[in-house]
Amino acid sequence: MFVVGTFYFFAIFLIFSSLSVIFSKNPVNSVLFLVLTFLNSTFLFILIGAEFVGIILAIVYIGAVAILFLFVVMMLDIQLIDIVFSVKKYIPLAVLFALVIISEIIYLTVVKVVKGNILLEPSSINNTEAIGDVLYTKFFIDFQLSGIVLLLAMIGAIVLTHIYKPSIKRQNISHQNSVTASERVSLHNPKNGEGIDA
């Protein structure tokens, strides 16, 4: 009974923090509410026995993604202006997404369980070990390919944002290696009260 009450507490808190992310006018507050949403999701995953997914959610999203969002928002210095925002035109799309998600939840929790009549066998290993066993045996190639795809996405983002500007000083490695010692050092003997034309 305590576990069920705790689950509902975190679930309700998750809904309110998610709505706060959407309707908060200050972008910094939105990111902080997003961190709170991820934290509540972590607690929910741990309560249902998926501690690996919960800890990964906390490490990846709270420890990296949400903090990155926060730093980007703070460095952009977004001016808080009142934007004319019409919520009514997005209501049909929101209702459609809500119906799709609710239908998936009903299908997975009611229809599939009743039709499949699943019998869960007790296992001596925890879910972290089970996920690792599946990832590094049956889906090893897929797991490595997903890492390569993420690496290519990172390289592509760097290439796309790497804009050449003449005002930015850049290293020319071949020019630096081809310069001789006589070209690097210039000796001058200025007279008193005179400067040097460099």
Segment 169-182 shows an average pLDDT of 80
**Domain count of the fold of the chain:** 2
In a domain, 136, yes or no: yes
Q: Report the C-alpha gap between 14 and 8 in whole angstroms.
A: 10
Report yes or no on 84 lying in a domain.
Answer: no
Could you tell me if residue 198 is inside a domain?
no
**Does 37 fall in a domain?**
yes
**Domain of residue 143, residue span:** 123-169
Q: Which pLDDT value is given to residue 107? A: 77
Q: Highest mean pLDDT: which of 17-31, 115-129, 159-173?
A: 17-31
Q: What is the pTM of this model?
A: 0.53
Of 79, 104, 131, the last residue of a domain is 79
Helices 67-76 and 27-47: crossing angle, nearest 10°?
Answer: 180
Would you say residue 74 lies in a domain? yes
Measured CA to CA, the distance from residue 23 to residue 29 in angstroms comes to: 10
Residue 61 maps to a domain: yes
| CATH classification of the domain holding 7 | 1.20.120.1200
Same domain, 6 and 67: yes
Q: How far apart are CA 147 and CA 136, in angstroms?
A: 13
| Residue 195 within a domain | no
* Same domain as 72, residue 1: yes
List, for residues 26-77, the tens digit of each pLDDT value: 777 888 888 889 889 998 888 888 888 888 888 888 888 877 777 777 776 5
Among the three residues 19, 48, 79, which one is the final residue of a domain in this structure? Answer: 79
Same domain, 6 and 72: yes
Residue with tokens 């009974």: 1
Give how far Cα 47 sits from Cα of 6, 40, 52, Å.
Answer: 8, 11, 11
Q: Would 100 be classed as within a structural domain?
A: no
* Residue type present at position 169: K
Query: End of a domain among 79, 114, 131?
Result: 79
Range with the lowest mean pLDDT among 7-11, 91-95, 125-129, 148-152? Answer: 125-129
Write down the pLDDT at residue 114. Answer: 60
Amino acid at 149: V
Q: What is the SS3 assignment for 4? A: helix
pLDDT band per the 50, 70, 90 thresholds, residue 82? very low
